[in-house]
Amino acid sequence: MKDAAETAVTTRREDAVEPVSGAQARSAKTTTPPRVVIVGAGFGGLHAARALGDAPVQVTVIDRNNYHLFQPLLYQVATASLSPADITAPIRHVLRKQKNTEVLMGEVTGVDVQQQHVLMGDQAIPYDYLILATGARDSYFGHNEWARFAPGLKSIQEATKLRSQILRAFEQAEEEPDEEKRQTLLTFVLIGAGPTGVEMAGAIAGLAHQTLKGEFHRIDPADARIILVEALPRILLAFPEGLARKAKQALNHMGVEVRTHSPVEDVTDEGVIIGGKLLPAQTVIWTAGVAASPAGAWLGVETDRAGRVFVSSDVSIPGHPDVFVIGDTAHFEQDGKPLPGVAPVAIQQGKYVAQVIADRVAGKEVSKPFHYFDKGNMATIGRLHGIVSIGKLQFAGVLAWFLWLVLHLYFLIGFRNRLIVMLLWFWNYTTLQPGARLITADRT
Amino acid sequence: MKDAAETAVTTRREDAVEPVSGAQARSAKTTTPPRVVIVGAGFGGLHAARALGDAPVQVTVIDRNNYHLFQPLLYQVATASLSPADITAPIRHVLRKQKNTEVLMGEVTGVDVQQQHVLMGDQAIPYDYLILATGARDSYFGHNEWARFAPGLKSIQEATKLRSQILRAFEQAEEEPDEEKRQTLLTFVLIGAGPTGVEMAGAIAGLAHQTLKGEFHRIDPADARIILVEALPRILLAFPEGLARKAKQALNHMGVEVRTHSPVEDVTDEGVIIGGKLLPAQTVIWTAGVAASPAGAWLGVETDRAGRVFVSSDVSIPGHPDVFVIGDTAHFEQDGKPLPGVAPVAIQQGKYVAQVIADRVAGKEVSKPFHYFDKGNMATIGRLHGIVSIGKLQFAGVLAWFLWLVLHLYFLIGFRNRLIVMLLWFWNYTTLQPGARLITADRT
B chain contacts of residue A74, beta-carbon cutoff 8 Å: none
Handedness of CA A27, A30, A32, A37 (dihedral sign): negative
> Closest chain B residue to A175 measured between Cα atoms?
B104
Write out the residue range of the structural domain in which residue B198 sits.
144-288
**What are the pLDDT digits (tens) for A96-123?**
999 999 999 999 999 999 999 999 999 9
Question: First vs last Cα of chain B: how many Å apart?
Answer: 66
Per-residue model confidence (pLDDT) at position A17: 36
CA B332 and chain centroid, separation: 18
**A436 interfaces chain B, CB cutoff of 8 Å:** yes
Average pLDDT in the A252-272 region? 97
Cβ atoms B437, B167 nearer than 8 A: yes
Interface contact flag, A438 B86, Cβ < 8 Å = no
Note whether A282 and A295 are same-domain residues: no
B chain contacts of residue A218, beta-carbon cutoff 8 Å: 102
**B134 interfaces chain A, CB cutoff of 8 Å:** no
Per-residue model confidence (pLDDT) at position A366: 73
Interface contact flag, B414 A435, Cβ < 8 Å = yes
- Report d(CA A33, CA B195) in Å as an integer: 50
Residue B12 or residue B391, greater confidence: B391
User: pLDDT class for B26, splitting at 50, 70, 90?
Assistant: very low
Residue A383 reports pLDDT greater than 70: yes
Query: Looking at B249, B270, B288, which one is the last position of a domain?
Result: B288
**A67 interfaces chain B, CB cutoff of 8 Å:** yes
Point out the residue among B212, B416, B433 whose CB comes nearest to the CB of A427: B416
For the domain that residue A309 is a member of, what is the CATH number? 3.50.50.60
- Report d(CA B264, CA B231) in Å as an integer: 7
Total residue length of chain B: 444
Per-residue model confidence (pLDDT) at position B290: 87
**Angle of helix B343-361 relative to helix B43-51, nearest 10 degrees?**
30
User: pLDDT class for A66, splitting at 50, 70, 90?
Assistant: very high
Distance from CA of B28 to the nearest CA of A (A): 25
> Closest chain B residue to A105 measured between Cα atoms?
B171
A199 is catalytic: yes
Point out the residue among B156, B416, B440 whose CB comes nearest to the CB of A435: B416
Residue A276 lies in a domain: yes
Burial class, A107, CB count within 10 angstroms (exposed 0-12 / middle 13-18 / buried 19+): exposed
Q: Which residue, among B62, B437, B443, would best test binding to A if mutated, counting the most A CBs under 10 Å from its CB?
A: B437
Total residue length of chain A: 444
A chain contacts of residue B105, beta-carbon cutoff 8 Å: 168, 171, 175, 439
Average pLDDT in the A155-169 region? 96
Note whether A203 and A304 are same-domain residues: no
Residue B367 reports pLDDT greater than 90: no
The DSSP letter of residue A186 is: T
Cα A273 to Cα A179, A311, B228: the distances in Å are 21, 38, 58
Distance from CA of A427 to the nearest CA of B (A): 8
Query: Looking at A322, A346, A361, which one is the last position of a domain?
Result: A361
Per-residue model confidence (pLDDT) at position B443: 65
Cα A39 to Cα A72, A326, B135, B304, B439: the distances in Å are 20, 10, 46, 57, 18
Burial class, A411, CB count within 10 angstroms (exposed 0-12 / middle 13-18 / buried 19+): middle
Average pLDDT in the B297-308 region? 95
Distance from CA of B188 to the nearest CA of A (A): 20
Interface contact flag, B67 A438, Cβ < 8 Å = yes
User: pLDDT class for A443, splitting at 50, 70, 90?
Assistant: low
B chain contacts of residue A96, beta-carbon cutoff 8 Å: 214-215
Residue A33 reports pLDDT greater than 80: yes
- Report d(CA A108, CA A117) in Å as an integer: 11
Distance from CA of A27 to the nearest CA of B (A): 22
Give me the residues paired with residue A226 across strands.
Answer: A188, A256
A269-278, A418-427, B188-197, B261-270: which has the minimum mean pLDDT?
Answer: A418-427
The DSSP letter of residue A311 is: -
Residue B20 reports pLDDT greater than 60: no
| Phi, then psi, of B427 in degrees rounded to 5 | -60, -55
Residue A370 lies in a domain: no
> Closest chain B residue to A123 measured between Cα atoms?
B175
B chain contacts of residue A173, beta-carbon cutoff 8 Å: none
Cβ atoms A126, A319 nearer than 8 A: no
**A441 interfaces chain B, CB cutoff of 8 Å:** no
Note whether B217 and B297 are same-domain residues: no
Average pLDDT in the B216-223 region? 96
Point out the residue among B86, B96, B438 whose CB comes nearest to the CB of A156: B438
Q: How many domains does chain A have?
A: 2
Interface contact flag, A66 B427, Cβ < 8 Å = no
Note whether B296 and B255 are same-domain residues: no
Note whether B156 and B171 are same-domain residues: yes
Note whether A24 and A132 are same-domain residues: yes
Cβ atoms A48, A60 nearer than 8 A: no
- Report d(CA B315, CA B327) in Å as an integer: 10
Cβ contacts from A onto B, under 8 A: 123
Note whether A310 and A265 are same-domain residues: no
Interface contact flag, B435 A420, Cβ < 8 Å = yes
Short-list B143, B186, B162, B181, CA closest to B78: B162
Query: Looking at A288, A306, A337, which one is the last position of a domain?
Result: A288
| Phi, then psi, of B211 in degrees rounded to 5 | -60, -50
Cβ atoms A385, A431 nearer than 8 A: no
Cβ atoms A194, A377 nearer than 8 A: no
Give me the residues paired with residue A317 across strands.
Answer: A320
Residue A8 reports pLDDT greater than 60: no
Note whether A254 and A322 are same-domain residues: no
CA B127 and chain centroid, separation: 26
Per-residue model confidence (pLDDT) at position A365: 81
Residue B404 lies in a domain: no
Per-residue model confidence (pLDDT) at position A369: 96
Note whether A220 and A353 are same-domain residues: no
Residue A1 or residue B376, greater confidence: B376
Average pLDDT in the A240-267 region? 97
For the domain that residue B254 is a member of, what is the CATH number? 3.50.50.100
Distance from CA of A92 to the nearest CA of B (A): 6
User: pLDDT class for A422, splitting at 50, 70, 90?
Assistant: very high
Q: Which residue, among A156, A160, A217, would best test binding to B if mutated, counting the most B CBs under 10 Å from its CB?
A: A217
Residue A387 reports pLDDT greater than 80: yes
DSSP states along A393-417: EEEEEHHHHHHHHHHHHHHSSSHHH
Note whether A206 and A134 are same-domain residues: no
A chain contacts of residue B214, beta-carbon cutoff 8 Å: 96
**A121 interfaces chain B, CB cutoff of 8 Å:** no
User: pLDDT class for B32, splitting at 50, 70, 90?
Assistant: confident
DSSP states along A88-120: EEEHHHHTTT-TTEEEEE----EEETTTTEEEE
Catalytic residue among A102, A199, A270, A333: A199
Point out the residue among A102, A416, A440 whose CB comes nearest to the CB of B217: A102
Point out the residue among B88, B416, B433 whose CB comes nearest to the CB of A93: B433
Residue B93 lies in a domain: no
Neighbours of B253 (CB within 10 A): 12
Point out the residue among B102, B157, B438 whose CB comes nearest to the CB of A88: B438
Q: What is the mean pLDDT of chain A?
A: 91
Residue A442 lies in a domain: no
Per-residue model confidence (pLDDT) at position B441: 82
Residue B424 lies in a domain: no
The residues of B carrying an active-site annotation are 199
Interface contact flag, A423 B419, Cβ < 8 Å = yes
> What's chain B look like in SS3?
CHHHHHHHHHHHHHHHHCCCCCCCHHHHHCCCCCEEEEECCCHHHHHHHHHCCCCCCEEEEEECCCEEECHHHHHHHHCCCCCHHHHEEEHHHHCCCCCCEEEEECCCCEEECCCCEEEECCEEEECCEEEECCCEEECCCCCHHHHHCCCCCCCHHHHHHHHHHHHHHHHHHHHCCCHHHHHHHCEEEEECCCHHHHHHHHHHHHHHHHHCCCCCCCCCHHHCEEEEECCCCCCCCCCCHHHHHHHHHHHHHCCEEEECCCCEEEECCCEEEECCEEEECCEEEECCCEEECCHHHHHCCCECCCCCEECCCCCEECCEEEEEECHHHEECEECCEECCCCHHHHHHHHHHHHHHHHHHHCCCCCCCCCCCCCCCEEEECCCCCEEEEECCEEEEEHHHHHHHHHHHHHHCCCHHHHHHHHHHHHHHHHHCCCCCCCCCCCCC
- Report d(CA B257, CA B201) in Å as an integer: 9
Q: How many CA atoms lie within 13 A of B16 on its CB side?
A: 17
Average pLDDT in the A283-289 region? 95
Note whether A256 and A346 are same-domain residues: no
- Report d(CA A427, CA A424) in Å as an integer: 5
Residue B298 lies in a domain: yes
* Residues 143-162 (B) with a CB less than 8 A from some CB of A: 156-157, 160
Neighbours of B443 (CB within 10 A): 8
**A214 interfaces chain B, CB cutoff of 8 Å:** yes
Distance from CA of B83 to the nearest CA of A (A): 7
* Residues 369-428 (B) with a CB less than 8 A from some CB of A: 414, 416-417, 419-420, 423-424, 427
Note whether B221 and B322 are same-domain residues: no
* Residues 222-251 (B) with a CB less than 8 A from some CB of A: none
**A440 interfaces chain B, CB cutoff of 8 Å:** yes
Question: First vs last Cα of chain A: how many Å apart?
Answer: 66
Residue B391 lies in a domain: no
CA A399 and chain centroid, separation: 24
- Report d(CA A350, CA A53) in Å as an integer: 13
